[in-house]
Amino acid sequence: MAALAPAEILALARISEELDYYQLLHLQDDANARQIKDAYYETSRTFHPDACRHLPDDVRRAVAVIAKRISEAYSILRDPRRRPAYDRHLESGGGARMQLAQAEGAQRAEVEGKTPQGRQYFTLANQDIRRGDFAAAARNLQTALTFEPGNEGFEKLLVEVREKLEHSSA
């Protein structure tokens, strides 16, 4: 295992709030799933609480902090729903950490809408799609987009619906 000096561990624990998850796991922004897992394993070899039982108390406490942060980082970055939400969170200067439920919620908002009206028309559009009424779905999605311009989830679905429309008219 990559041994760290106690002083380094203490220092890392102190700044662990400020390190974003990519920095914490020594990852590039575009790391793939395998790289994320390998990084999780590698950092765990150093910072798993079991690896540090023989260290002094203050160091063990620091290790416990880092270990919890590593689990958090892994839980966000390995999850295809949470990771985009976290990336946006970072871009918007939201801080290095993100609570798991928050990432989940943000992602859901991105897919299902952030405004009540957006969600409402998005839901109607989905009902239209289930009924096979793509024209109505397209109208509802366009309305949803007037409330939430640029919502990627809405736009993506609208593209799909229009393709279906062209298919059926062709």
Partner 1 sequence: MADIAIGIDLGTSNSCVARAEDGTVDVLANPYGEKITASVVAFREDGSITVGNSAKANIIHDPENTVSSAKRLIGRYYFSEEVKKARAICAYDIAESEGHGLRINVRNEQFSLPEISAMVLRELKAIAEARLGQSVSKAVITVPAYFNDNQRQATKDAGRIAGLEVLRIINEPTAAALAYGFGKGLKQRVAVYDLGGGTFDISVLEIGEDIFEVLSTCGDTFLGGEDFDDRLIDMLADEFLANTGINLRNDRFALEKLKVASEDAKKALSVDSAVDIRIPDIIEGPEGMLSVEHQLTSVEFGSLVNDLLQRTFKVCDEAVQEAGVVARDLDGVVLVGGPTRLPIIRDAVRAYFQMEPKTDVDPDLAVSMGAAIHASSLVNPKNDTFLLDVTPLSLRIGVAGGIAESVIERNTPVPIEQTRTFTTFKDYQESVSIRIYQGESREAEENEPLGQFEFSGFAKARRGEVEIDVTFEIDTDGIVNVTARDRDTGQKASIRITLSSGLSESEIESIIERANTDRVETTTLEITPPPVSRDPRSELEEALSTPPLSDSQRALEPVSESDPAASAASSTPAHAPDEATPADAVTQPFLGMSPDSDDLLLDEEPAPLLAEPARLSGEPQLAAPEPIVAASPEPFFEEAPTDEMVAYTKNPKAMDLDLEPDPVGLDIDTEVETEDNQVVELTDDLHIANTQTASELHDPEPEAEPQVLEENPHDLFEPAGTDLTTLDEAEDEKG
Q: Which residues bind partner 1 (CB under 8 A)?
A: 13-18, 37, 40-41, 44-45, 48-51, 53-54, 57, 60-62, 64-65, 67-68, 71-72, 74-75, 89, 94, 98-102, 104-106, 108-109, 114
Would you say 67 or 129 has its CB closer to partner 1? 67
Query: Cβ distance 47 to 12 under 8 Å?
Result: no
Task: Give the whole-angstrom CA distance, residue 169 versus residue 162.
Answer: 10
* Least distance (Å) between residue 117 CB and partner 1: 15
Would you say 63 or 141 has its CB closer to partner 1? 63
Would you say 37 or 162 has its CB closer to partner 1? 37
Taking every pair of Cα atoms in the chain, the longest distance, rounded to a whole number of angstroms, is 74
Would you say 49 or 132 has its CB closer to partner 1? 49
**Phi-psi group of 132: left, alpha or beta (phi > 0 → left; psi -120 to 50 → alpha; rest → beta):** left
* Least distance (Å) between residue 32 CB and partner 1: 15
* Least distance (Å) between residue 40 CB and partner 1: 8
* Least distance (Å) between residue 170 CB and partner 1: 37
